[in-house]
């Protein structure tokens, strides 16, 4: 929710909000804050914001559309992507997003992989 509010603030136009936020497949937002207009000085603060609700929303979408659900009675050797459904594994996913390794992973990724705002 916080991320949504932030994004809404960052993109005041509803249209921009729609095309920039709704369409992206990342639940991580790279927010870079510049303290001074002097570009030579290294005075920017970067924050990575992880939107947990959006992450679960994307998980639901992946299960419903396009990806093979993990529980489907298909050939288990099929080499296709699988989706972890929120209905069956919600608690696992909730535990996973609070893990230190997830935190490390999110903070170690480059900004090009996230929705980025300057």
Partner 1 sequence: MVNFMIPKADDGSGEEQDLSLFGVSLVFQRSSTARFHPRRISQTQLIGSEKVAGAANTQVEEKKTELTEDKKEASIDEAGEFPSPLSFDTSSDDHWSTFTRSIQVSEDVPMFNSHLREQPWVDRVLQDEIRDQDVPATVGVALVSRRNVVIAMRQTLWMLLRDFSREPEEKGSMKPIDKSIITCGSLVDLLGTFAHQDVERSALRCILEPYIRAASSPWIERPIGSQKEEFERLAGQQLMTCLPPIPLALLFVAALLEQKIILSSTRRSILFSATAALTEMLKPLKWCHLLVPLVPAALAKDLIQYPAPYILGMPSEDPGVMDIMNDLPMDVTLVDLDVGRVILAPELSYDNRNTSGEANENMAQTRSQVLYLAQILGSKFGANLYRDAWSCDSPSLTLCNYSRQTAQRQADFDVLRAVCRSFVEELLAGTML
Site residues, partner 1 (CB under 8 A): 70-71, 75-77, 79, 82, 84, 88-92, 95-96, 98-105
d(CA 39, CA 101): 34
**Residue 20 CB burial class (10 angstroms; 0-12, 13-18, ≥19):** middle
Distance of CA 67 to the CA centre of its chain: 18
* Minimum CB distance to partner 1 smaller for 25 or for 77: 77
In whole angstroms, how close is the CB of 94 to partner 1 at the nearest point?
A: 8
* Minimum CB distance to partner 1 smaller for 36 or for 81: 81
In whole angstroms, how close is the CB of 101 to partner 1 at the nearest point?
A: 4
* Minimum CB distance to partner 1 smaller for 8 or for 90: 90
3-class SS at 58? helix
Tokens 């000085």: give the residue.
Answer: 41
In whole angstroms, how close is the CB of 109 to partner 1 at the nearest point?
A: 9
């Amino acid at each position: 929710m916080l991320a949504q509010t932030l994004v809404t603030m960052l993109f005041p136009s509803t249209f921009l909000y729609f095309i920039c936020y709704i369409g992206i497949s990342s639940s991580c937002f790279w927010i870079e804050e510049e303290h001074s207009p002097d570009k030579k000085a290294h005075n920017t603060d970067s924050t990575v914001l992880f939107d947990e609700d959006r992450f679960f929303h994307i998980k639901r979408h992946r299960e419903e559309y396009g990806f093979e659900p993990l529980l489907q009675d298909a050939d288990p050797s099929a080499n296709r992507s699988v989706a972890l459904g929120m209905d069956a594994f919600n608690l696992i996913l909730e535990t996973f997003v609070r893990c230190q390794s997830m935190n490390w992973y999110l903070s170690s990724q480059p900004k090009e992989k996230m929705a980025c705002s300057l």
